Structure 1
Amino acid sequence: METTYIQQIQEAAAFISSKLGQVKPVIGLVLGSGLGDLAHQVENSIAIDYSDVPHFPVSTVEGHAGRFVAGTLEGKQVIVMQGRFHYYEGYPMKKVVFPVYVMKALGVQTVVMTNAAGGMNRSFQAGDLMLISDHLNMTGDNPLIGPNHAELGVRFPDMSEAYSREYRALAHRLAEGVVGEDGKALKLQEGVYAGISGPTYMTPSELTMLARVGGDAVGMSTVGEVIAARHAGLKVLGISCITDMAIGEELEPLTHEQVVAVANRTKPKFIALVKAFVREVAM
């Protein structure tokens, strides 16, 4: 007999829990393209390949290692997704967000969602970090379409504060103590993330449209996961690494390798900010 979505979540969580020993994660971190090295900072870590977890899809994108890493980070017990799943990989949106519900079942209360994104705000530059204040769901899909599972959340979840104001204020304060290689304090941007389906990068006209309707950055992830997180009652901090400038009127050719390269250069300040947040956030 085919297992239900709830049963799949429970079975995946039970498997992961059986591998964690004394680790009881309260913070989940989802690491985007080129940002997976933060997982190496986790102490007393336990690694679990996605391919070993019941009902899990496989991450197929370069820069996504495809495993959980759990342990202690800055005194808090965490579980890190070293790579995520994307709608453009061909997975249904419910499968894309499946790990969010699994983390909730493991006891996670807070998630830090990160991604690599193109900057559409002319005041940004490649290498900036942007706190996500809100999003535009331009994927054409929603993970909550279909029957609602009351065990997971309410039928119509409120999205008026999808990204915690409290967490954003804390991150801005902590950024003042993050010093880059140039000796200057981290300049933390803030803006609206436009989530698209991908996998193509956008045309100049599409980027111009997204900027005009309020987008500050554009990417191919995060939105579905945040909807699921809020459905599950989790608090969210979202951080985009601006890997390229996506100005419609000035667009230049772009490759995934370029995106990962800029994310790699930005990693030190990204890791410093996330570690400071994990250390200071109240649980």
Structure 2
Amino acid sequence: MTDSEALQRAQAVRHFNRFYTQHIGALHEHLAKSAFSLTEVRVLNELFRGRAQTASALGRNLGLDSGYLSRLLTSFERRNLITRRPSELDARQSLISLTDVGHAAYAPLDTAAIGEVCVLLDSLAPLDQDQLIASMKLIERLLGDQPKHELVTLRQPRAGECSWLVHRQAQWFAAQHGWDQTFEGLLARFVADYAQRRDSVREMCCIADQKGMVVGSVCIVAVSTTVAGVRLLWVEPNVQRLGIGTQLLGESVRFARRAGYTKLTLTTAATLGEPRRLCERAGFKLAGTTAERRFGKDLTIERWELEL
């Protein structure tokens, strides 16, 4: 990346920060009419939503200076908004909880804040709301300290998700490996053929869902009456090595067996280490390799097979 490109990206982030800050300020205009500052409301919200916490945990979660937070908590204690009790795990720490007075003081602010967000969302069409929330979740996943270990569930694809997977994989392989548009065309044909056949007995597509975000996928398609092929096996790069690929491939094997296939195949390029690792762990055997010109590159194509 050139210095010019890096600067443009930094400026784009700063532009979004200004835009977001303005909107957050608008959403919290009601605070001027309350007895609490925005920072005080953030602390109250943290205590309102969770169990008793220590001051160090509050400071860490909210990014607040320890001295400032100490003064703020002392003020809360004087106003009977919080209580402190010694921690059973660490006598040097105190557990902080909202009192009944604290709950009563914060509850109207929470209700008002939710109402303002609902007004903001109501100005958008339902599909735009979904796109906005998905984008917010993506930012959390990419920038959060520990966003990657959330529970992953497997489900059927929703409208548009298979096409999105084509877009996502074509985009990533072009950026990382220089593959050309013929790869996107191949993926698009897989998806089109699968969607048109709609054979739920012999074929399936599975989405890995993490808190409403698509983080992986796999499809099983019929190659013959006895052989099935793995297609669109994908795990988002920033959540790889967390067992998601193993989960997807394991579900593929179970489906293929239930559908009566005797063999499951997977084709990949030798330069891609992740599919090979998943195949080996699932018990696939390397059945052969060929040198081919694919996707604008000279590749060694590997064919993996699993006897069912």
TM-score by length of 1: 0.29
TM-score by length of 2: 0.27
Larger radius of gyration: 2
Higher relative contact order (CA closer than 8 Å, sequence separation 6+): 1
More helix, by proportion: 2
